[in-house]
Structure 1
Amino acid sequence: MTPEEARDRFTAARVARLATVSADGVPHLVPVTFAVRGDVVVFAVDHKPKSTTALRRLRNIESNPAVCFLADGYAEDWSRLWWARADGVARVEPPGAEPVAWLVAKYEQYAQRPPEHAVVVTDVHTWSGWAGS
């Protein structure tokens, strides 16, 4: 899969897994909703239930901004399997950042209640992927 094909598959996915690493080197993996424009991936801390808005993923990014996202598709017909990965450098921005509009455009759930907390913007430096056919 070419980098362009990987970016297209990733962009079309509805959910991805975000991998971060703490300052102590402990990995952390969580699902995220996201939007893509060019080589930029954004996600936000939204209203879905959480124990706090001071999330481990945000602390990890503050101490180590290298992140990885993975989106994939599974099918019992393994010729239809695929995955797409985005590696980049993330930064946490304050609530209300312009990329929230990207999320609102992708997810109708955000139209009624846009994310009101931190926004994470990732500049992707590497797109990669694989497909079974």
Structure 2
Amino acid sequence: MTPEEARDRFAAARVARLATVSAEGVPHLVPVTFAVRGDVVVFAVDHKPKSSVALRRLRNIAENPAVCFLADGYDEDWSRLWWARADGVAQVLPPGSEPVSWLVAKYSQYAQRPPEHAVVVTEIHTWRGWTGS
């Protein structure tokens, strides 16, 4: 899969996994909803239930902004398997930053209640992917 194909496959996915690492080297992996524009991935802390909005993913990004996203598709027909990965450098923006509109455009669930907390923008430097066919 070319980098462009990986980006397109990733952008079309509904959910991805975000990997961050703390300053102590402890990995953290969580699912995120996201949107893509060019080589930029955005996600936000939204209203879905959480123990706090001071999330480990945000602390990890503040300590170590290198992140990795993975989107994938599984099928019992293994020729239809695929994954797409985006590696980049993340930055936490204040609530209400402009890229929230990207999320609202992708997810109808945000139309009535856009994310109100921190927004994370990641400049992607490497797109990789694989497909079983």
TM-score (norm 2): 1.00
1:18-39 residue CA offsets vs partner (Å, 9 max, x unmatched): 0000010000000000000000
1:57-116 residue CA offsets vs partner (Å, 9 max, x unmatched): 000000000000000000000000000000000000000100000000000000000000
Structure 2 partner of 1:44: 44
Give the gaps of 5 or more residues in structure 2.
none
State the number of aligned residues. 133
Structure 1 partner of 2:33: 33
Give the gaps of 5 or more residues in structure 1.
none
Q: Does 1:24 align with 2:24?
A: yes
User: In structure 2, the residue corresponding to 1:11 is in which secondary structure?
Assistant: helix
User: In structure 1, the residue corresponding to 2:42 is in which secondary structure?
Assistant: strand
Q: Distance in 1 between matches of 2:88 and 2:15?
A: 17
Structure 1 partner of 2:53: 53
Per-residue deviation, 1:8: 0.3
Q: Distance in 2 between matches of 1:19 and 1:63?
A: 14
Structure 2 partner of 1:112: 112
Q: Distance in 2 between matches of 1:9 and 1:108?
A: 20
Q: Does 1:90 align with 2:90?
A: yes
User: In structure 2, the residue corresponding to 1:7 is in which secondary structure?
Assistant: helix
1:6-53 residue CA offsets vs partner (Å, 9 max, x unmatched): 000000000000000001000000000000000000000000000000
Structure 1 partner of 2:15: 15
TM-score (norm 1): 1.00
User: In structure 2, the residue corresponding to 1:10 is in which secondary structure?
Assistant: helix
Give the RMSD, CA atoms, in angstroms.
0.2
Q: Distance in 2 between matches of 1:62 and 1:35?
A: 21
